[in-house]
Amino acid sequence: MNTIAPDREALRRPLADSFGRRITYLRLSVTDRCDLRCRYCMSEAMTFMPRSELLTIEELGLIADAFVARGVKRIRLTGGEPLVRRGIDDLALHIGRQLGAGNLDELTLTTNATRLAEHAHLLVQAGVSRVNVSLDSLDADRFRLITRTGNLDKVLGGIAAGRAAGLAIKINMVALKGINEDEIEPMIRWCGDEGFDLTLIETMPLGVVDEDRTDRYLPLDGVRERLAERFTLDPIADRTGGPARYLRVRETGTHLGLITPLTNNFCDGCNRVRLTASGRLYMCLGHDDRIDLKAVLRNDGRGAIDAALDSALLSKPERHAFRIAGRGAAPAVDRHMSVTGG
């Protein structure tokens, strides 16, 4: 492998796209595999990438360092389910050194919590301060319906272990018409009792799944109106570097986030890019423009990454074009969310 020296001028230049938006947030997928099969995310019979195509843990760490050197301040480890990737704790420890050096503000992780009990203490040692847990139902039978294979008790045990280890927990709930919409209010109350913030997410048209998303699309503008009849919702300016808009639920004292890719485009302040486990860098979740950082790294070395990033960001679109087009319509992009990273 060639070893081009890093461009010193580039290292001092923050990442920005052609619309002047600073890129300070990297979502780093470590695997497309998952031990659940959530019906809005995956087909029941998924074909995953061969392990030979994945970046090594060392390469993931090297690319993360390259982004931090260019001004990225937040990194989220994602998947698939990141905790099924062998070496995930070592990667977290490697990136966590950037926290100690003052180069990184936050290292977080999104998980389904099935394996959180095994990893929580090591994640805390690495510097992970909070995790987002995907949890779409508190009813065991409905949880299994949504995930096809999930055990709710195991997930709740993982959440408890994470909290005991010192992790702040935020719950992510995909709002699904006809499946869990009646659980949104109970979920808010449960999160309030537990001291967890909650983010509701509209289903996204990514990848072919086994049912028509038209049947499950639940616009969150209507949900918010209905919740406002039961709760006092105060808009707040809090942002965590992601796409959610936040409200304070006065009755519980916790925050409610809304991620609305379909009813309220949130791209105006986009500050993030996504790297897949195979090294493809996507500038937008809803577009297919990408570059192969694995090829850049393996063929030309670390020094070529900076020029590749500058070139890639020129293609970052102003906004995505998500829509639920009607029954039988193709998804916005063919790749599943588990490939790009949540």
Is a pLDDT exceeding 70 seen at residue 75? yes
Binding residues for GTP, by number, are 27, 76, 110, 170, 272-274
Query: So what's the pLDDT on residue 327?
Result: 46
Assign 331 a pLDDT band (cuts: 50, 70, 90): very low
Query: So what's the pLDDT on residue 41?
Result: 83
Query: So what's the pLDDT on residue 59?
Result: 98
Mean pLDDT, rounded, for 177-206: 93
Higher-confidence position of 44 and 269? 44
Higher-confidence position of 62 and 318? 62
* Mean of pLDDT over the chain: 87
147-176 confidence digits (pLDDT tens): 999 999 999 999 999 999 999 999 999 999
Query: So what's the pLDDT on residue 42?
Result: 80
Q: How far apart are CA 260 and CA 256, in angstroms?
A: 13
Q: Report which DSSP code applies to 91.
A: H
Give residues with Cβ within 8 angstroms of 272, minimum separation 6: 23, 24, 25, 26, 27, 241, 242
105-147 confidence digits (pLDDT tens): 999 999 999 999 999 999 999 999 999 999 999 999 999 999 9
Query: So what's the pLDDT on residue 329?
Result: 46
Q: Report which DSSP code applies to 14.
A: P
Query: So what's the pLDDT on residue 12?
Result: 60
Which pair of tokens denotes residue 201? 């997410």
- Longest CA–CA span in the chain (Å) reads 62
Could you give the C-alpha distances from 22 to 46, 240, 247, 299, 316, in angstroms and in order?
Answer: 35, 15, 25, 28, 12
192-249 confidence digits (pLDDT tens): 999 999 999 988 765 455 566 667 889 999 999 999 999 999 999 766 555 778 999 9
Query: So what's the pLDDT on residue 271?
Result: 85
Assign 4 a pLDDT band (cuts: 50, 70, 90): low
Mean pLDDT, rounded, for 82-99: 98
272-310 confidence digits (pLDDT tens): 899 999 999 998 876 678 899 999 999 999 999 999 999
Residue 171 burial (10 A CB sphere; 0-12, 13-18, 19+): buried
Which pair of tokens denotes residue 167? 């992790």
Domain 8-218+272-340 has CATH 3.50.50.60: no
What strands lie across the sheet with 254-259, from one edge to the other? 233-235, 245-249, 254-259, 197-202, 168-175, 130-134, 106-111, 74-78, 25-29, 272-275, 280-282, 290-292
The answer to whether 203 touches 336, Cβ cutoff 8 Å, is: no
Is a pLDDT exceeding 90 seen at residue 264? no
Binding residues, by number, are 27, 34, 38, 40-41, 76, 80, 110, 134, 170, 204, 267, 270, 272-274, 284
Query: So what's the pLDDT on residue 212?
Result: 62
Mean pLDDT, rounded, for 321-335: 50
pTM of the full structure? 0.86
Share of the chain above pLDDT 70, in %: 81
Assign 314 a pLDDT band (cuts: 50, 70, 90): confident
Lowest mean pLDDT among 12-26, 132-146, 257-271: 257-271
Binding residues for [4Fe-4S] cluster, by number, are 34, 38, 41, 267, 270, 284
Is a pLDDT exceeding 50 seen at residue 330? no
Q: How far apart are CA 287 and CA 128, in angstroms?
A: 30
Share of the chain above pLDDT 90, in %: 67
Binding residues for S-adenosyl-L-methionine, by number, are 40, 80, 134, 204
Report, in angstroms and rounded to the nearest whole number, the Rg of the chain calculated over CA atoms. 19
Q: How far apart are CA 127 and CA 150, in angstroms?
A: 28
Query: So what's the pLDDT on residue 216?
Result: 80
Is a pLDDT exceeding 70 seen at residue 104? yes
User: What pairs with residue 257 in β-bridges?
Assistant: 199, 246
